[in-house]
Amino acid sequence: MSEQNKIDEIKAVLAAATEIRTSPWNIGTPSPNGCINIGSRGVMVAQCLEPSPADLIAKAPEYITYLLQEIEREDEALKWYASHWNHEVQLEDAGLTSMQLDNGKRAREAL
């Protein structure tokens, strides 16, 4: 599976999960068996024995959304640098290429 196919798969699964999730996942109080319940509006989605994994699971949709947005932002910068038009001298640019005028600004912003 290509990297882009995997990213598309993650987006699709996240979108499907977001459609059925009407409110953020919450970390509940430990149940009688000692497990920490994670869910939304009375629907349990997971149980953990420790608070750290419970926090990660509860915040996973938010974290995944953020990471996907970062990937898209960096991809846009890479596409700009990859475009052959940005390596060509344009008449209005006084003999400089768009790449020279940019001087790495897009790359720094993407990082």
pLDDT of res. 44: 77
pLDDT of res. 1: 66
Query: What is the mean pLDDT for each group of 10 consecutive residues in the chain (111 residues)?
Result: 85 78 70 81 78 82 91 84 69 69 77 68
Look at the pTM and tell me if it is higher than 0.75: no
Residue at 99: amino acid letter? M
pLDDT of res. 76: 85
pLDDT of res. 64: 92
pLDDT of res. 19: 62
